[in-house]
Amino acid sequence: MEGFFITTQAAISVACWFIASMGAAVAVFSRRIEDTVTERIGLAAISVGTFGTGCRIIKQGWVTDGGMFLAVALAFYVCALFWKHLKNVRGTNLDKAM
């Protein structure tokens, strides 16, 4: 039964690392976000690092509690930023909801 929890925790962590990775990658190539070159380089490093961490978890099959917490925190942060920017896009009807 403990193996099930470890596998579930690793799967959730991998999903969260990939969400953070894709969020950073989208931010790097977005034309609407006005960042400096240094910020884009930092976001690219975050994207590569989080993707690599997700792949490491897949290969090893386990994750620490601290890694799990960090993955979930980054995923929530990326989702919150996505929601903030989505509300400002005209034509989505979300700009009128709030």
> How many structural domains are present in the chain?
1
Position 92 in a domain:
no
Distance, CA of 9 to CA of 2 (rounded, Å): 11
Position 93 in a domain:
no
Would you say the pTM of this structure is higher than 0.85?
A: no
Give the closest residue to 66 by CA, choosing from 3, 9, 7. 9
Position 14 in a domain:
yes
Q: Which domain holds residue 40?
A: 2-87
Position 54 in a domain:
yes
Position 94 in a domain:
no
Q: What is the pLDDT of residue 31?
A: 79
Over residues 34-41, the mean pLDDT reads: 83
Over residues 62-68, the mean pLDDT reads: 83
Position 53 in a domain:
yes
Over residues 51-71, the mean pLDDT reads: 87
pLDDT at 18 over 90: yes
Give the closest residue to 67 by CA, choosing from 53, 48, 87. 53
